[in-house]
Structure 1
């Protein structure tokens, strides 16, 4: 199976600017860059280094979003901004918009947010179809203790896809979130494989001693690691519980040809530019075993 290896931009690397990121990535075997925004300047920088754009963060659709606001005017304004971005991205050749749908009120029950989503998103997806844009829904469950994100569990994804059957509304397959939630990451891929519009290369290690101490709820006195809530921690691929060999087989079976994009969230490879670069390289080397 051959997939290009990409990366989201970690904080220290991002501070150096897009030209620095592109130069380093091109020199270290990275093929694709996920970007927070996409314009002519970013496109030119990537193309000059032989790189492709991967997913593009949807404006106002990553994190707490007005798209799920109780205020109708706020929702309409946010939806219009997102549609305008889709038109611009499409004109530049972009294909995938990354979204993580967390209500602006994180205490809002998911069922209520889902009802608002049903009113807001059909017109957004219709515009995506017209512009040949594919939405990739992120599975991060959101901040504890509410976990308000829409689309992070099979139960919710099934309900959303029943409302909007279009392939232009799909998922960003990131097994790390499924593992931490106790959801079978391979079964989820088998069930929702045809809706995979993008894929993240990130892993999760279940910390069994910590699981004994606090169970699946957030640690009372703080986690031992960054990118953790107690009984698990995010890691680079190969240092967690994800079976990347089986993931690769299933992605090949469903015909996924997009990149595997490294999302670096691992305390061992964080806090400095050198650590981030080391983490990206180690993640790329492990993913290349299965996808190159």
Structure 2
């Protein structure tokens, strides 16, 4: 009787042990698969994050990721100022709430202007995935250019403009009399010869919106006949003011006494003291 009972007991024990081992094996497989799936999912997410960042914003450097802005359109505006000024209005968008304009590089070669608008965003920032539009007004350096057709490329978007006449003072050709001389920043520190009783024009860039203006001093043999500031004209269809866009100041100066004369100028805010760091202009005038 005891032998039969023992056999049943051992048979029951073996079955129970087998079932427990099978349950443990199955449970281990489930946990392992779950961990593998989680790890795979994490690797995929991380990889997507890295790829997405690099492809959207370009190279990394320091704490920022740098790239180029998406420009959708450009408008080339000719300002009816003196001298002629050309500005490019570029419109586009930034891919997220953290990306901002980094810098604008404006280079020219021959009859082509190449402008690059770069962007930057914090490398580890969590950003809102909403695009932001931008508008940038970019002045072109066209003073001194000859008449002709010119092209503009802003991040791959191109346009063109035409200068119908030379955008340079006519006196540079040597065909004008001394009375018609036009002096600019390029003549700073030079000397001119002028007949007594004749006049010349002094034209300097000025931007009163920043508070700065030119203060001129003339020696006794020179008289300031007139002076007028020419602001940049507001482009048609553009309601917002051209922030930071300056014009030019034009003076007509007459020689009234023979001898060595001089024009000096300092570019400063009228209410500020002279520090020695200001921009200066000097022109020596020999009146004959």
Shared fold (TM-score greater than 0.5)?
A: no
Q: Which structure is richer in relative contact order (CA contacts within 8 A, separation 6 or more)?
A: 1
TM-score of the pair, normalised by structure 1? 0.25
Q: Which has the larger radius of gyration?
A: 2
Per residue, is there more strand in 1 or in 2? 2
